[in-house]
Amino acid sequence: MKLIHVVGARPNFMKVAPVISALQKYSGIAQTLLHTGQHYDANMSDIFFRQLGLPEPDINLGVGSDTQARQTARIMMRFEEVVLQEQPDWVLVYGDVNSTVAAALVCAKLQIPVAHIEAGLRSMDRSMPEEINRLVTDRISNLLFTPSEDGDEHLLQEGIPSDRIHRVGNVMIDTLIRLLPTARAKQDVLRQQLGVNTPYGLVTLHRPSNVDDGEMLSRILAALKNISQSIPLLFPIHPRTVQRMQAMGLSVSSPTLHLIEPLGYLEFLALMDAATLVITDSGGIQEETTYLGVPCLTVRENTERPITVTMGTNLLVGRDMQRLQLEAERVLAGKAKHGEIPPLWDGLAGERIADILSKV
C-alpha cells in the first residue's frame, strides 16, 4: 500500500507525526510525506519537524502565501502532478487548511481514496474559510476519522454513511502526551530566559478577525494590558501581527505584557502547561488546554471544537473585551471552570488510524 500524507501548516505537523509513527509498524505500507509549503517559515518549520521527530518532507510543493483561491489552485495544480506520477492507494489529509481541501479535490477527481484526519468538526460559521474547507473535504472523503462524538453527529446529520466514520480520538493529543515530559523538563530554564518567575498567563492570537481589524486589535491589546496588571502575560507574537500593529500605529508599552518571538512546539507546550490561564483564538490550543486542565479563554464567537466547552476548560468570550477581563479575573480569583478529558484523548489515536488503514 502506498500512502501520501499531505500537510501544509504547522498544526498539521502535530497531527501527522503520530500517524506516520504508528503506520511504520506495519510491513508493506510505503509512506510519502508531502508539504505543500502553504505556510512556510524555514526556521520554524525546521524546528517543528525536528522536535516532533518527523522525517524531512519527501516532497515540498513550495506554493507559499497568496489569496485563498490562488493558493488553493496552485496546490491543486502541483499536487495533481505528484498524484499522477506516484499513483498512491490512499491520500491522508489533516485538519482544515487550504492544503486539506485542495488535495482532497484533486484525489476525488482522479478517483484516489482520501482519508480525512480530524473530520466532522463544525463551527457553523461559513464566514470562516476553514469551515468551508471542512465541509467540502468531509463530503468527498472516503474515510473520516473523528476526534470526538460531536464529529460523528455532524457527519451523520449531513448524510455521510456511518461505515465511513471512525471515531479514533485526537491525534494532536497523541503528540502532546508523547512530548509533554520533554517540554516539562524545559520549563525552569525557559522561564529564567524569559524573566518570568511568578505565575503568568499565555496569549496567542492569529485569526484575521482579531489581528487584521485595527479597531479590534487595539481593543484586544488594551484588554491584555489591563489583565497584565494582575498577572504578567507572555504573548508569542507572529511577525505578521507585529507588521499590522506598526502599520496601524499600535504599540504596547507595558512592563507586564511581554511580546516575544514565536516559539517551537516544545517551548510553547512547556509554557502552556505551566500557565495560570491561556487567552487564544486557536482551535488546537483549545484542545491542548482542555487536556492539560489549564483555563482557556477563547476570543471567538464560536468554535469548531465545542467539546472543549461542554467537557473541557474552554470558555468562549467572543469579541467582548469587558467579558475577557471579567473571566480572567474569575480565573485569578480561583473560580476557573473545571473540565475533564474527553473520551479517547489517550495518546492512541494514531494507532487506531493505522489499524483501520492497514485493513482497507
Q: Give the whole-angstrom CA distance, residue 61 versus residue 82.
A: 9
With beta carbons less than 8 A apart as the criterion, state whether 270 and 192 touch: no
Q: CA–CA separation, 341 vs 37, rounded Å?
A: 33
User: Cβ contacts of residue 192 below 8 Å, gap of 6+?
Assistant: none
Terminal alpha carbon distance of the chain: 10
Among the listed residues 54, 302, 313, 15, the one whose alpha carbon sits nearest the alpha carbon of residue 168: 15
What are the residues facing 145 on neighbouring strands?
117, 166
- Choosing from 39, 154, 206, 238, the catalytic residue is 206
Residues in the chain: 360
Q: Are 64 and 40 in contact (CB under 8 A)?
A: yes
Amino acid at 287: E
Burial (CB < 10 A; 0-12, 13-18, 19+), residue 251, is: exposed
Q: How far is CA 181 from each of CA 17, 21, 273, rounded to the nearest angstrom?
A: 17, 18, 11
CB 232 within 8 A of CB 200: yes
Q: What are 297's three cell numbers? A: 479563554
Q: Is 206 designated active site? A: yes
Spatial separation of the C-alpha atoms in residues 285 and 89, rounded to whole Å? 33
What amino acid positions are annotated as catalytic residues? 206
